[in-house]
Amino acid sequence: MSMEDYDFLFKIVLIGNAGVGKTCLVRRFTQGLFPPGQGATIGVDFMIKTVEIKGEKVKLQIWDTAGQERFRSITQSYYRSANALILTYDISCEESFRCLPEWLREIEQYANSKVITVLVGNKIDLAEKREVSQQRAEEFAETQNMYYLETSAKESDNVEKLFLDLARRLISEARQNTLANSAASPLPGEGKSIGYLNCCNFN
Amino acid sequence: MEATVSSCKVVEGGGGSSRSRSQFSMQFISNLTDLQELEEVYGRLCAEQNDAESQLEMLVNQQSSIENKMTVLQRMGPNLQLIEGDAEQLSGMISFTCNLAENVSSKVRQLDLAKNRLYQAIQRADDILDLKFCMDGVQTALKNEDYEQAAAHIHRYLSLDKSVIELSRQGKEGSIIDANLNLLQDAEQRLKVIVAEKFSVATKEGDLPQVERFFKIFPLLGLHEEGLSKFSEYLCQQVANKAEENLLLALGTDLSDRRAAVIFADTLTLLFEGIARIVETHQPIVETFYGPGRLFTLIQHLQVECDRQVDKVVDKFIQQRGYHRKFQQVQNSMMRMSATDKIEPRELDPILAEVALMNARSELYLRFIKRRISSDFEVGDSMASEEVRQEHQKSLDNLLNHCLLSRTMQEVIGYYITMEEYFMRETVNKAVTMDTCEKGQLTSSMVDDVFYIVKKCIGRALSGSSIDCLCAMINHSTTVLESDFREVLCNKLRMGFPATTFQDFQRGVTSAVNIMHSSLQQGKFDTKGIESMDEAKLSFLVSLNNVEVCSENIMTLKKTLENDCTKLFSQGFGGEQAHAKIDSCLTDLASVSNKFRDLLQEGLGELNTTAVKPQVKPWINIFLSVSHNIEEEEFNDYEANDPWVQQFIINLEQLMAEFKTGLSPVIYDNLTSLMTSLIAIELEKVVLKSTFSRLGGLQFDKELRSLVAYLTTVTTWTIRDKFARLSQMATILNLERVTEILDYWGPNSGPLTWRLTPAEVRQVLALRMDFRSEDIKRLRL
Ligand SMILES: Nc1nc2c(ncn2[C@@H]2O[C@H](COP(=O)(O)OP(=O)(O)OP(=O)(O)O)[C@@H](O)[C@H]2O)c(=O)[nH]1
Ligand SMILES: [Mg+2]
């Protein structure tokens, strides 16, 4: 399919309420900056960053979606092909936490069943304004089988870790998937049902 | 000798030169008594004398040349004096000139200073005169209602150096100037009021020449912002009047009207065109009288009115078309499984088309505004700092992205995507349920229908010119094709190709072609309600063809969309990331093509194992019942009455005829390739179970050649390779003696590459009844 210079390609989609800091997280990770006066995202933004993990080039396609309600139908169309979802809320905004079940319903409805979801509590630099305790978020994440991480796009806390850990997890999932697929020779329409990960592996 | 010595001494003594003086003094000589000593001294003195003489001679020789030089020098004497005189004169002149120059330049400096002061004085005098002139002029102009003139005076006054005025006031005529200044300021205020009043009267009366007249006066009075905002107010009023009129007309449109289905899109179009015209008409005045960079302000004001009008139109659209109600219905329908209370997708078609048109018009309008403002900023910012430029860019982006028009259309498009997705999915489902296969067609109707629908939906999104909306629809199409439609074809293939029964076999394989033709006598068959086995067979083959066509159609669709998008981008639509976004979504779409290709391979494998293999295997097994341990007589008999291979070929031909008519050439070719591999493997198995005589080996060789010759005619693949092992087995079975193998083995193999291992060669050799096992064992391979 492609002679491009990478070993793995993954799609990561950021979702969550408007203003929780999705764009800032992406910009911090891809450009190493905290944009002042970041405006609300219109539709979806698209960015690519290639990272190296244990000598392997991993190309991350990052889709930064708009949190505002009116873009929901656009962003929903990206769930299905996502390898990973970063569900973000703002630790200084109870409301953004309370909306999480609604987002989980969306994931349930539209995303691939194999998708990896990470819950991210952003803006931990605003410690004095914290409205959602870490424990509460961790407990919630556990009930939903999600990884949980707290970040600050502003202070660059855990941002790198968020994406790199995710990439590592995606690689190991992709490896398992390729193994599972090559083991059984599938009947028509079975087994290989959605070879969404093995198409990314070029080795 | 004596004389010479003495003369020499005289010279030396007279010369007084210590250098050439003899080493012996007279006194020393006089005191000498010893003859030997005297002789020695004499000898030395003689030598000294010789030296002195030769030196003297040298000096004498030089005399003439020295004299020559002296004469030359003497002749030069007067010249040198001349030069000295000249040089002195020159130096005098230089220092004079230098002084002069210094003098002159200092005078020039003074002159410059004087001139500057003079200019300043003139300027001030001018300014004061101007001031007086303005003071007088303004009064007269105002009296004559010549507001342009009055404003020009005020403009002149406003552009005067304030410090000059201040200085003038402190001068002798201070009080008079003060009085006049007051008058002037008074006049300025008066003029401002008058212009504002006149402007508002002109706008009320809709007197465009007067409106423009006073609009031009504002900037002269330093009232740029006020002028623009007042003028915009006037323009907005016009926009509003026209828009309301248009909306009323639209609402009264007869349902039979040709444009009735897109009347709201048309109304928006009129609004946008009206504003665009206003911008076009008034841009020159703004540029000329307000300077570059001011168009943004004007459009910003206009946009407020535009937003207000768009809101009204879209509101009416939502009401009249029941847009939200339909969206709600769609949402409910998506939850429900039963078809009964689902909204009919056809009902959505017109409204989706109208929304796409509405958005296309909005995008076109926004792009127009963007271009106009950008180029106006560019002119104004040619000397500006990067910061200023960025600031301007940001305010432009802000205007475009966050104006109510954009937000409203984003919302409308948000609903549109959900409804378009529903339309696509439901119509695709319908195409699947209504699937039929026309006589003589390899594929069934649903493939064409499904791709027609997908193309229609993506095409509609494309026509709306919103990149995000287009990407969303490409994503949804990918889902519909990959999950929904692929699943349908998968299920059809999963039903399998019905295994041929024993009766079929006994009948010697009824020509399936005949059956197919008979079942198609009505021209069509319904792929859903499959009753007979023949229909089931046909359905499987059609599904295989369908899968292949899907795979191809997807690639075609991707390429077409790429071209369409390139056109869209070249027209300036879409932001900086638009290209990357579309590319990524299209790559996902294209990958579905490969999934269909995989499915095709799986289906073919299935066909091969369930339909071809169970038939072919018994035919090959018949080989076991045909003895190859034969003598001359039987061999001749076989010659006359072929015991196996001819019938096998006829059977294969009949078996494949069904597939040849029912499958596309590419798939058929794939299937024959699978079949040949199968035959090769199965035949090898039975050969290894048989026994051969020398003539039996020859018989097998003949049979194999016939089979390979036949198979070569039915497939474009090379089959020699697949039959390489069998051919080599035939070669071995044809040998005269065991040792003859060595003529073909090892260094004698020539171009032949053995596919059989030494153990296998021995195994085949052992099939020959007439070969002794000791001989075979003894072979060195
Ligand atoms: N203090 C603090 N502020 C943050 C942080 N991350 C983002 N913000 C601020 O939060 C606001 C919203 O950030 P965005 O990144 O635009 O939020 P978003 O989730 O992309 O919003 P939408 O695009 O509308 O969905 C901005 O004003 C940011 O400056 C953070 O880590 N700490
Ligand atoms: Mg954002």
pLDDT digits 0-9 by tens, B560-608: 999 999 998 888 887 778 999 999 999 999 999 999 999 999 999 988 9
**Is A108 a residue whose pLDDT tops 50?**
yes
Kindly list the residues from chain A whose CB atom is less than 8 angstroms away from the CB atom of residue B407.
70
- Residue A49 C-alpha to ligand 1 middle, in angstroms? 20
Q: Distance from B200 to chain A by nearest Cα, in Å?
A: 39
**Is B750 a residue whose pLDDT tops 50?**
yes
Question: Which residue in A48, A70, A199 is closest to B414 by CB distance?
Answer: A70
Among A4, A23, A77, the strongest candidate for a mutation testing the B interface, having the largest count of B CBs within 10 A, is A77
Among A11, A63, A73, the strongest candidate for a mutation testing the B interface, having the largest count of B CBs within 10 A, is A73
Pocket of ligand 1 (CB under 6 A): A 18-24, 38, 40-41, 66-68, 122-123, 125-126, 152-154
pLDDT band (50, 70, 90) for residue B624: very high
Separation of alpha carbons B622 and B646, rounded Å: 12
Query: Which ligand is in closest contact with the Cα of A24?
Result: 1
Give the rounded percent of residues in chain A with a pLDDT score beyond 70. Answer: 86
- Residue A27 C-alpha to ligand 2 middle, in angstroms? 10
Mean pLDDT of chain B: 86
Inter-residue contact A51 to A60 (CB < 8 Å): yes
Q: Which of B243-252, B502-511, B526-535, B722-731 has the lowest mean pLDDT?
A: B502-511
**Which is higher by pLDDT, B128 or B44?**
B44
Which atom number of ligand 1 is nearest to the Cα of residue A27? 15
Q: Which of residues 34-53 of A touch B (CB under 8 A)?
A: 39, 42-46, 48
| pTM, to two decimals | 0.79
**How confident is the model over B751-780, as pLDDT tens digits?**
888 999 999 999 999 999 999 989 888 888
Put simply, the answer to whether B414 touches A187 (Cβ < 8 Å) is: no
Q: Which of A176-190, B209-223, B300-314, B601-615 has the lowest mean pLDDT?
A: A176-190
CA neighbours within 13 Å on the CB side: how many for B153?
28
B689 by DSSP, 3-state: which? helix
Q: Distance from B181 to chain A by nearest Cα, in Å?
A: 48
B362 by DSSP, 3-state: which? helix
Kindly list the residues from chain A whose CB atom is less than 8 angstroms away from the CB atom of residue B595.
195
Nearest CA in chain B to A44: B468
Question: Which residue in B490, B581, B588 is closest to A46 by CB distance?
Answer: B581
Q: Which of B67-81, B454-468, B524-538, B669-683 has the lowest mean pLDDT?
A: B524-538
Residue-wise DSSP of B720-759: TTTTHHHHHHHHHHT-SSGGGGGGTSGGG-TT----S-HH
Does the CB of A61 have a partner CB in chain B at under 8 Å? yes
Domains and their CATH numbers in chain B = 38-205 (no CATH), 223-425 (no CATH), 435-506+530-608 (no CATH), 626-778 (1.20.58.1970)
- Residue A124 C-alpha to ligand 1 middle, in angstroms? 12
Write the single-letter amino acid at A124: I
Separation of alpha carbons A32 and A25, rounded Å: 9
**Which 8-state DSSP code applies to residue B74?**
H
Residue-wise DSSP of A107-164: HHHHS-TT-EEEEEEE-TT-GGG--S-HHHHHHHHHHTT-EEEE-BTTTTBSHHHHHH
- Residue B473 C-alpha to ligand 1 middle, in angstroms? 28
Q: Which of B366-380, B494-508, B755-769 has the lowest mean pLDDT?
A: B494-508
CATH tag for A8-176 (out of 3.40.50.300, 1.10.645.10, 3.30.360.10, 3.30.460.10): 3.40.50.300
ipTM of the complex: 0.89
A10 phi and psi, to 5 degrees? -130, 145
**How confident is the model over B423-447, as pLDDT tens digits?**
999 999 999 999 998 877 899 999 9
By residue count, chain A amounts to 203
A90 by DSSP, 3-state: which? strand
* pLDDT for the residue B4: 41
What are the structure tokens assigned to B37, written together?
């000593």
Does the CB of A70 have a partner CB in chain B at under 8 Å? yes
In order of A88, A111, B120, B715, the CA distances from A15 in angstroms are 6, 12, 69, 54
Each domain of chain A, given as residue ranges in start order, spans 8-176
Question: Which residue in A1, A70, A199 is closest to B410 by CB distance?
Answer: A70
Nearest CA in chain B to A189: B490
Closest by CA to A137, choosing from A163, A164, A118, is: A118
Separation of alpha carbons B603 and B674, rounded Å: 12
Separation of alpha carbons A114 and B355, rounded Å: 36
Write the single-letter amino acid at B335: M
Give the rounded percent of residues in chain B with a pLDDT score beyond 70. Answer: 91
Nearest CA in chain B to A186: B602
Kindly list the residues from chain B whose CB atom is less than 8 angstroms away from the CB atom of residue A69.
414
pLDDT band (50, 70, 90) for residue B508: very low
pLDDT (average), residues B165-184: 72
Burial of B420 (0-12, 13-18, 19+ CB in 10 A): buried
Among B588, B593, B597, B606, the strongest candidate for a mutation testing the A interface, having the largest count of A CBs within 10 A, is B588
Separation of alpha carbons A102 and B383, rounded Å: 52
**Is B262 a residue whose pLDDT tops 50?**
yes
* pLDDT for the residue B37: 85
